Amino acid sequence: MAYDELLADRVKKIFRAKRVRFEEKNMFGGLCFLVKRKMCVGVQKDRLMARIDPEVYKEALARKGCREMTFTGKPMKGFVFVEREGTKNDKSLKEWIQLALDFNPKAKTSKK
């Protein structure tokens, strides 16, 4: 299993409850959720990946379970990993998803 399917199901449930239209796409060795054709959150292994406003990035890193997202050895600005301890209850998962949704209108669409 490349990603935690239970966590992915929890993300889908939250999006549906918020009536957010989303697409699923296999990316980064996991499952990503795109909102308005932009990467919003994802599940990689057993952790959440969130695309958040760079202005709240440092504040977010201070939260439980949050760390910089790195793939090439350097941090990707505006992207964080949230380990299992930061998403173990629905309240905390909803907060991370909301942070990503709040940034989504400002995020740029990836170039194809």
Higher pLDDT, 66 or 28: 66
CA atoms lying within 13 Å on the CB side of residue 88: 5
Computed over every residue of the chain, the mean pLDDT equals: 93
- Which pTM does this prediction carry? 0.92
Per-residue confidence (pLDDT) for residue 14, from 0 to 100: 98
**Full DSSP string of the chain:** --B-HHHHHHHHHHHHHTT---EEEEETTEEEEEETTEEEEEEEBTEEEEE--GGGHHHHHTSTTEEEEESSSSEEEEEEEE-GGGTSSHHHHHHHHHHHHHHTTTSPPPP-
* Domains of the chain with CATH codes: 5-103 (3.90.1150.30)
pLDDT, one tens digit per residue, over 30-47 is: 999 999 999 999 999 999
